[in-house]
């Protein structure tokens, strides 16, 4: 596979960075993920770290060198992250569970496959146009879909931070079915937290990405997002991949099954097919982070 990846995460005007980025690769497969811990709940950064760690552990085990079923893999990863957050919060008798949103993408055999929960986004950009963009699991996006408000109202709407789904919440996440797209040369797959996309217009984003190399455009856009957000600047995180392979004739990708995370409790980890070693390592990391964040 031929591609270039650029990633950046910044604190913004916040006291702590609760975003996490993950990027893993094998000889035939690439996994990209961005998690944004919820600042309105205790230890959002820990939930984001746990979700990313479990995805990475699953990739290391299953990418041999390809992922057998990208949609099922992404759904299992989302479900396992949610279940592990709930289990650890219960063990520690936390008053509230840590929570995070997540967007993740598997790239293999010339296709991108993605799934998300919450308002971290994936953009697929081709020849100066956005050909795909994830739909936020938010009250505001719901209002837009119903035609009750315009998309330009997102950043100023009083309900803009109200999520309908997350990992670690009271209800199990129910992500949309996996989406897939065959990649063409020079396509850009961009994953980001709302601290990145929120302050930027689509025109600003597209202009920078089309006019400059990815290594230059991404830092410029992060700087611009910080400047435009000012004192209200959230953590700003972005992970972008430029696809460098020519598109060749190939059979169309099979229609993806409507893979979704089933409703489950914190004891349903067998369904997720996550190894005990993966779970325990991620839980140990979570405990260490909790101890560190609660230390005087």
Q: Return the pLDDT at 287.
A: 58
Instruction: Give the span between the Cα atoms of 282 and 292, in whole angstroms.
Output: 15
Closest CA to 191 of 15, 12, 9: 9
Q: Return the pLDDT at 157.
A: 65
State both tokens at 203.
């025109």
Please list, in sequence order, all residues whose beta carbon lies within 8 angstroms of the beta carbon of residue 284, skipping any fewer than 6 positions away.
Answer: none
Q: Would you give per-residue pLDDT tens digits along the chain (296 residues)? A: 999 999 999 999 999 999 999 999 999 999 999 999 997 667 899 899 999 999 999 999 999 999 999 999 999 999 999 998 898 788 878 888 899 999 999 999 999 999 999 999 999 999 999 999 999 999 888 888 878 877 766 766 666 678 999 999 988 999 999 999 999 999 999 999 999 999 999 999 999 999 999 999 999 999 999 999 999 999 999 999 999 998 765 545 555 455 555 544 433 444 344 555 666 666 666 556 555 655 55
Instruction: Give the span between the Cα atoms of 127 and 7, in whole angstroms.
Output: 21
Instruction: Give the span between the Cα atoms of 103 and 124, in whole angstroms.
Output: 13
The class of domain 3-254+276-290 in CATH terms is alpha beta
Q: What is the pTM of this model?
A: 0.87
Are residues 234 and 195 in contact, defined by beta-carbon separation less than 8 angstroms?
Answer: yes
**Residue ranges per domain, the chain?**
3-254+276-290
Give the three-class secondary structure for 68: coil
State both tokens at 204.
């600003």
Q: Residue 255 belongs to what H/E stretch?
A: none
Q: What is the phi/psi pair of residue 103, to 5°?
A: -135, 135
Closest CA to 199 of 5, 6, 10: 10
Q: What is the phi/psi pair of residue 167, to 5°?
A: -90, 135
From the DSSP assignment, how many helices (H) and strands (E) are in the chain?
8, 10
Instruction: Give the span between the Cα atoms of 157 and 150, in whole angstroms.
Output: 10
Between strands 179-182 and 111-117, the pairing is antiparallel
């Amino acid at each position: 596979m031929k591609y270039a990846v650029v990633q950046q995460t910044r604190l913004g005007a916040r006291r702590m960075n609760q975003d996490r980025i993950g990027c893993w690769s094998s000889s035939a497969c690439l996994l990209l993920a961005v998690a944004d811990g919820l600042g309105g709940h205790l230890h959002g950064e820990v939930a984001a770290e746990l979700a990313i760690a479990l995805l990475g552990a699953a990739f290391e085990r299953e990418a041999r060198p390809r992922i057998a079923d990208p949609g099922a893999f992404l759904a299992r990863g989302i479900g396992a992250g949610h279940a592990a957050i709930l289990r650890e919060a219960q063990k520690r008798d936390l008053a509230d569970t840590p929570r995070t949103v997540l967007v993740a993408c598997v790239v293999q055999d010339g296709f991108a496959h993605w799934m998300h929960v919450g308002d971290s986004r994936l953009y697929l950009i081709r020849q100066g146009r956005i050909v795909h963009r994830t739909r936020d699991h938010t009250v505001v996006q719901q209002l837009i879909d119903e035609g009750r408000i315009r998309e330009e109202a997102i950043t100023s709407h009083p309900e803009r931070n109200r999520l309908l789904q997350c990992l670690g919440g009271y209800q199990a996440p129910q992500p949309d079915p996996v989406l897939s797209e065959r990649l063409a040369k020079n396509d850009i797959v961009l994953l980001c937290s709302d601290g990145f996309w929120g302050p930027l217009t689509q025109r600003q984003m597209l202009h920078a990405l089309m006019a400059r190399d990815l290594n230059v455009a991404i830092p410029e856009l992060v700087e611009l997002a910080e400047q435009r957000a000012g004192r209200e600047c959230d953590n700003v995180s972005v992970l972008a991949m430029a696809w460098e392979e020519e598109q060749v004739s190939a059979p169309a990708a099979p229609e993806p099954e409507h893979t979704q995370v089933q409703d489950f409790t914190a004891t349903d980890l067998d369904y997720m097919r996550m190894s005990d070693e993966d779970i325990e390592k991620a839980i140990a990391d979570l405990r260490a982070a909790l101890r560190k964040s609660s230390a005087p």
